[in-house]
A and B are shown apart, each in its own frame.
Chain A
């Protein structure tokens, strides 16, 4: 079974709009990470937020973490066609493995 669950499963937006996706998880974590995957290739690490942090920014990305609700959100601002990809949240609870959700597929229309 997967630790994280992303919502929505799919998202279609116009170029320039913001994209928001959410992740819920089940157990206590050390940190939560977001990854991007283009067309079934390798995953690219986007951002990591530690369990004692509530919000983090990196370029056009903003991540929030609410450990009391066991949830996180990823916001991509001013989306571009190149942002079209699948996005996965992954929880790190043991330092040994990441537990991934099923992902959110984002399509950015020109």
Chain B
């Protein structure tokens, strides 16, 4: 049973460019969340998707946008990249309605470097 799959694993982009990161949730999971983890810090919540809608958003600018597809996979898009966007981007999935008893399953992340 595959867990959460993220692609690509590493990415180097230039300031001002745009990037798309992809995530396939664990089989049976329908809720996908995205987190940004800067070096030496804990993950910061970007947003969560359920039923193809953004359910909640963290304190991130509109340059960060996302999408969820009918098969529950998701994309994270970042426009006008800044050096400060360099981080590990983590995708996490869960089955909705299970939050009382179960944690999230995380992918291995995409390491984004902005130069």
Alpha-carbon distance A33/B62, docked complex (angstroms): 29
The total number of A-B Cβ pairs within 8 Å is: 68
Contacts of B111 in A (CB 8 A): 40
Docked-complex contact B107 and A42, CB < 8 angstroms: yes
Is B109 located at the chain interface by the 8 A CB criterion?
yes
Is A50 located at the chain interface by the 8 A CB criterion?
yes
Shortest distance between the CB of B10 and any CB in chain A (Å): 12
Q: Count residues on chain B whose CB falls below 8 Å from chain A CBs.
A: 29
The chain B residue sitting closest to A47, CB to CB, is: B103
Which of these binds chain B: A13-21, A59-67, A74-82, A88-96?
Answer: A88-96
Contacts of B109 in A (CB 8 A): 40-42
Alpha-carbon distance A4/B108, docked complex (angstroms): 22
Assuming A30-B99, A31-B99, is B45 touching A98 (CB within 8 A)?
yes
Assuming A50-B100, A100-B42, is B56 touching A94 (CB within 8 A)?
yes
Docked-complex contact A42 and B100, CB < 8 angstroms: no
Q: What are 17 A-to-B residue pairs whose CB atoms are below 8 Å?
A: A35-B106, A40-B88, A40-B111, A42-B4, A48-B102, A88-B42, A94-B56, A96-B48, A97-B48, A97-B56, A98-B35, A98-B92, A100-B35, A100-B43, A100-B44, A103-B41, A103-B42
